[in-house]
Amino acid sequence: MNRRTRFVPESAAALAVLAIALATPAFRSNAQAAASPAANSAAAGGAGTASLAHDDKFVIGIDDVLSVSVWNEQNVSRKVPVRSDGKISLPLAGEVQAAGRTPLQLEGDVAERLKNYITAPQVTVIVEEIHSQKYNIMGQVAKPGSYSLTQANTIMDAIAAAGGFRDFAKQKSIYILRPGANGSETRIGFNYKDFIKGKNPGQNIKLEPHDTIVVP
Which residue in 190, 167, 165, 164 sits closest to 177, CA to CA? 190
What's the pLDDT tens digit per position in 23-71?
Answer: 444 444 444 444 444 434 333 433 334 445 555 678 899 999 999 999 9
pLDDT at residue 101 in the model: 94
What's the pLDDT tens digit per position in 58-116?
Answer: 889 999 999 999 999 999 999 999 999 999 999 999 999 999 999 999 999 999 999 99
pTM reported for the whole predicted model: 0.55
User: In sequence order, which ranges of the chain are alpha helices (DSSP H)?
Assistant: 2-23, 25-34, 37-50, 103-114, 155-161, 192-196
Q: Is pLDDT above 90 for 170? A: yes
Q: Tell me if 208 sits within 8 A of 178, measured CB to CB.
A: yes
Q: Residue 73, Cα to own-chain centre: how many angstroms?
A: 23
Q: Tell me if 131 sits within 8 A of 116, measured CB to CB.
A: no
